[in-house]
Structure 1
Amino acid sequence: MDALDRSPESLGVLIKETQSLLNQRMDDRLRPLALSVPQYACLTALQDTPGITSSELARRAFVSRQSMNVLLQGLEKRGLVTRSSDPGPRRERSVVLNDAAELLLERAHEEVSSVVHRMTVEVEPVERVRLYELLARCRDALLIP
């Protein structure tokens, strides 16, 4: 793609390429911790929003509800999460992080931060704030059906 191409389509392609590379680099750094990017996203969402539903977890981890169930089963077997035996609203079982997940997330956050730092090292702090604001506005615009 031509770096001077400023068409809306090229912006979409650039965002997708950046997202794909970010995902690859995060995967590279999380793999030694035996975590995938969706698992990391799930654990982070549970840390940030205790009591979150499986449906919302799936959305935040960019996986289907069925895939989230499989993902949670794997995290439960590893002793990283505990799922309630009692179904809650909409028959979903609550999920909480275990201490092992909290420790693992400390290391995972460091690894992901190093990737984001690498991605933004050439971007001035004030530009990073603006980039965040712009991307959030783009995301929010797409939330409207």
Structure 2
Amino acid sequence: MSRRQLVIDGLFLTSLLSIVYLTMFPNMYLGTGIAKGGHNFTPFLMIKEIFLDGSIFTTLVNNIGNIIMFIPFGVFYPLAFPKRNAFRTVLLTGAGLSCSIEIIQWFMENRWSDIDDLILNTFGTIFGYGIFRGIRKIKKRISIFL
């Protein structure tokens, strides 16, 4: 395995471990996993409520944070698995990972199982994939590491 692939695989693993850490363990600084959780199956309900009624910090952590958390996954998955770098494959894998997390959180007392998280995480994966595609397009024009 080349040094380049080792770095890519390490970054992909780091993105996965970060997602697990942020979604499965309490974080008092972010205010996640420390209070009683629940379930939301109505699309865009919590996004709207947090945006309209929540503080800027809560909006950033819950809405923007769910997007940002999955951007590295969308970038590094197609780099780590070059034979599986089609948009549909990356999209379904990111959505599947997010869905798995939400199912696990359903059974965790201090976590929210939320359809909005699935939507935001999937959007983050798509955004990350867009970055991956942009890097590939630039790479064709100039010689860079990736």
Report the TM-score, using the length of structure 2 for normalisation.
0.29
**Quick check: which one's strand share is greater?**
1
Q: Which has the higher contact order (CA 8 A, sep 6+)?
A: 2
